[in-house]
Amino acid sequence: MRDALRLLARGEDPARAAAASAPPGCGAAAVTSTLETLRARQRGMDPPLASLLDDPAVTDVLINGTQAWVDRGGGLVRVDAGIKDEADARRAAIRLASASGVRLDDARPIADGTLPGGVRLHAVLAPVSGSGTLISLRVLGTRRLGISDLAACGTLPGSVGTLLRALVASRANVLVSGATGSGKTTLLSAALALVPAGERIVCIEEVTEIAPAHPHCVHLIERAPNVEGRGAVTLADLVRAAMRMRPDRLVLGECRGPEVRDVLTALNTGHDGGWATIHANGAHDVPARLAALGALAGMSEHAVAAQAASAIDAVLHLRRAPSGHRWVSEVGVLTRARGSLECALALSATADGCVTTHEAWASLARRVGL
């Protein structure tokens, strides 16, 4: 195996490396086993973990020291990831980070990156983690789901699919909210696939996740500082850069810091048709989240309220049930009341698809031409 790994490190094809390093008289089963190991190592992991990530039903793999769980859409299930002890878990995390092109060691014990193939990595080493090495892997679906797919599986209940199409067609600015794993990126990618082919989409992200089926979509990716603390490229930097790229649609993968000021400025200065996601417990919590993020950029609550109410036409909130079912549960409209930002409910939906309209529906319907 060592000879095979050396050949792989030199850039040799895994199949050739496995064959060239096989001892005389070695059977086909041994060569096949070596080949599986080499292909997994190319991806920064060992075969047991690679097999979990290759399962098309798996959306998340979570490793806490020697314990591992996967989510196949119905909640977490305990599995064997081939991690024997804490030292093995640490080696696995460092190997995954290296394959992602990011640093992970005692000096920088937290890492975020993207593995070959698009799997998103988050890793934390002890003693920053009091539970041993922690590895979180988010698997992006290889199949691009469209609006009709999301409607068929209940993510877009009732008239929400029609509303989503109208939001895109009318070039509304939309904020998609929800918890981690609620399906924000999937919904965003499906919506952007509806953008006319003649328009340019510029996506700004921490790591590449948004993947619309669109012929003209470019990505700008945040960069962390190097070991000397230099070379950082922030989301705020990228928003400003994107505005000079003639974007027909400006998209922020996640609004989580002072870049909210630049996004609101862009959406208030003619860059309509923009989309962004934000973490929130409900549509009614979005104003408080925006105010908190605006404060990081030195914006007053009054300034955030004025800009957000003017810039954002609709808030789509996603929920995830314990069963794994995800759906748009609320649609809201941001308004100003006595100088504060509020979210008026336009539509709500239950997990079983029952849709109810509310007081803000009439104004939203007029805005998008319904």
Residue pLDDT, tens place only, 89-112: 999 999 999 988 888 999 999 998
CA 364 to chain centre: 27
Which ranges in the chain are annotated with CATH 3.30.450.370? 52-141
Query: Which comes out higher in pLDDT, residue 117 or 88?
Result: 88
> What integer pLDDT is reported at residue 287 of this predicted model?
96
Distances (CA, A) of 289 to 177, 274, 301, 317: 10, 19, 11, 13
**Which tokens hold the place of 197?**
């082919």
Mean pLDDT of the chain: 87
Burial class (CB in 10 A: 0-12, 13-18, 19+), 268: middle
Residues 20 and 24: their CA atoms lie apart, in Å, by 10
- Which pLDDT belongs to residue 223? 85
Task: Return the axis-axis angle of helices 14-21 and 2-9, rounded to nearest 10°.
Answer: 140
Of 52-61, 221-230, 242-251, 311-320, the poorest mean pLDDT is in: 221-230
pLDDT of 31 reads 47
Q: What are phi and psi of 366, to 5 degrees?
A: -65, -40
Strands 174-178 and 134-138: unpaired
Give 172 or 51, the one with higher predicted confidence: 172
Q: Which of 16-30, 276-290, 313-327 has the lowest mean pLDDT?
A: 16-30
pLDDT above 70 as % of the chain: 88
3-state secondary structure (DSSP) of residue 192: helix
pLDDT at 331 over 50: yes
Mean pLDDT value of segment 253-258: 88
Looking at residues 281-309, what average pLDDT do you find? Answer: 94
Kindly tell me if the per-residue pLDDT of 359 is higher than 50.
Answer: yes
| Structure confidence at residue 369 as a pLDDT band (50, 70, 90) | very high
CA distance 305 to 289: 11
d(CA 317, CA 176): 6
Q: DSSP readout, 216-259?
A: SEEEEE-B---TTS---B-HHHHHHHHTTS--SEEEES---STH
Residue 190: phi and psi, rounded to 5, are -65, -40
Give the contacts of 169 (CB within 8 A, at least 6 positions apart). 194, 368, 369
| Delimiting residues of CATH 3.40.50.300 domain(s) in the chain | 147-368
According to the model, what pLDDT value does residue 256 have? 87
Report which secondary-structure segment, H or E, holds 138.
strand 134-138
Burial of 196 (0-12, 13-18, 19+ CB in 10 A): exposed
CA distances (Å), origin 347, targets 100, 258, 356, 358: 41, 30, 6, 6
> Which pair of structure tokens corresponds to residue 182?
């609620």
Q: Please, which pLDDT band fits residue 217 given cuts at 50, 70 and 90?
A: very high
- Taking the alpha carbons at both ends of the chain, their separation in whole angstroms is 64
Of residues 32 and 103, which shows the higher confidence score?
103
pLDDT at position 350 over 60: yes
Q: Is the pLDDT of residue 86 over 80?
A: yes
pLDDT tens digits, one per residue of 154-171: 999 999 999 999 999 999
User: What is the third-level CATH fold of 147-368?
Assistant: Rossmann fold (3.40.50)
pTM across the whole model: 0.80
Kindly indicate the confidence band of residue 224, based on its pLDDT and cuts at 50, 70 and 90: confident
Higher local confidence (pLDDT), 15 or 291: 291
Average pLDDT over residues 288-313: 94
pLDDT at 17 over 70: no
Could you tell me the pLDDT band of residue 226, with boundaries at 50, 70 and 90? confident
Is the pLDDT at 22 greater than 80? The verdict is no
pLDDT average, residue stretch 334-347: 92
User: Comparing 269 with 175, which gets the higher pLDDT?
Assistant: 175
With beta carbons less than 8 A apart as the criterion, state whether 115 and 100 touch: yes
pLDDT of residue 24: 53
Q: pLDDT digits over 33-79, tens only?
A: 555 666 666 677 888 888 888 888 898 999 999 999 999 877 899 99
The CATH fold of domain 52-141 = Beta-Lactamase (3.30.450)
- Tokens standing for 233? 């490229």
Within a 10 A sphere around the Cβ of 11, how many other Cβ atoms? 7
Give the model's pLDDT for residue 9: 54
Tokens coding 334: 């941001």
Query: Would you state the pLDDT for residue 7?
Result: 47
CA separation for the pair 283, 90 (Å, rounded): 39
Please, which pLDDT band fits residue 314 given cuts at 50, 70 and 90?
very high
For residue 51, what pLDDT is reported?
A: 86
Say which residues have a Cβ less than 8 Å from residue 214's Cβ, sequence separation at least 6.
192, 193, 195, 197, 201
Both structure tokens of 358: 């509310």
101, two tokens: 């092109």
Given a cut of 80, whether residue 10 has pLDDT beyond it is no
